[in-house]
Amino acid sequence: MCGALRGEGQRGACGAEAGLTVARAALHFWEEPPLSGTAGSGAVFFSHCPLRCVYCQNADIAAGKAGIEIDEDRLADICLELQAQGALNVNFVTPTHYSLAIMLAVAAARERGLFVPVVWNTSGYERVETVRALADTADVWLADFKYADEWLAQRYSNAPDYPEVALAAIGEMAALGAPAFDEVDGQPRMTKGVIVRHLVLPGALDQSKRALEMLFDRFGNDVMYSIMNQYTPVMVPSALECFPELGSRVPDGEYDQLLDFADSLGIEDYFWQEGPAAQESFIPEWDGTGVLA
């Protein structure tokens, strides 16, 4: 919707040109259990992002500071290589701005033997039309719902329309099918459906409660929920001067309050994080692992 003609060399609001840029393609063990299991999720981390959150834990790749340009054929190869490594799925992380190229790459990979599920790992800031176009590409939707409040979406992501846009997109994802599972090595693997993630931010417990309430009012238990406590203050000092409230982690007591609130809403099954979830081990090295042949 930014109107950039990327095929003519213009950069979109995401910062990307027409080519695919990938920072890492490797087994990843930090997703929800039915996505990572013990074998790992085959995560493909794309560079650039259409939603620039000030607290982004993957800021270097979101800003395009890391990544290697590849073509669709190489992306198809990567999918098959991850499958050969035993990945439970192919997990496209921040893929929206490359949707068309990814659709073509997945179709080619499936013709060549790709059979594991495809996970669309997104900020939730999607057009409904894009979700519909991806219906035959994505099997599992791993979508954020970051904000219930327009003012917070504006402050942290410069996207005051985020709540309505994300709710509409998640609604379209949910309409494509309920959560479904098979079994790999005695463990459940998600093969279809939606997991909605909500990352708890410091000082924003009330808005997190509103976010869960909005989601449950709209979707009930037709989607799965992941309530995340892994916020890590990785912002540079100059940014922290503008957003001092983001300079600390979320207290365990606040996180526990939110889990209790989820229970009170009637959310039957959700993922939560135990122990020291906020740590830099969730942030991989953007060193081009697995990108080149």
Q: What percent of the chain has pLDDT over 90?
A: 87
> Could you report the per-residue pLDDT of 75-109, keeping only the tens digit for each?
999 999 999 999 999 999 999 999 999 999 999 99
Model confidence pLDDT, tens digit, residues 9-39: 899 999 999 899 999 999 999 999 999 999 9
pLDDT at residue 234, rounded to an integer:
83
> Tell me: the pLDDT tens digits for 217-270?
999 999 999 999 999 888 878 888 999 999 999 999 999 999 999 999 999 989
Question: What is the identity of the amino acid at 175?
Answer: A
CATH number at 18-282: 3.20.20.70
DSSP per-residue string spanning 114-163? --S-EEEEE-S---HHHHHHTTTT-SEEEEE---S-HHHHHHHHS-TTHH
Average pLDDT over residues 175-195: 97
Residue type, 158: N
Per-residue model confidence (pLDDT) at position 204: 97
Spatial separation of the C-alpha atoms in residues 114 and 129, rounded to whole Å: 25
pLDDT score at 282: 65
pLDDT at 281 over 60: no
132-161: per-residue pLDDT in tens? 999 999 999 999 999 999 999 999 999 999
Domain ranges of the chain: 18-282
Cβ atoms of residues 17 and 65 within 8 Å: no
- Identify the burial level of 225 via C-beta atoms within 10 angstroms of its C-beta, where 0-12 means exposed, 13-18 middle and 19 or more buried: buried
Q: Is 181 helix (H, G, I), strand (E, B) or coil?
A: strand
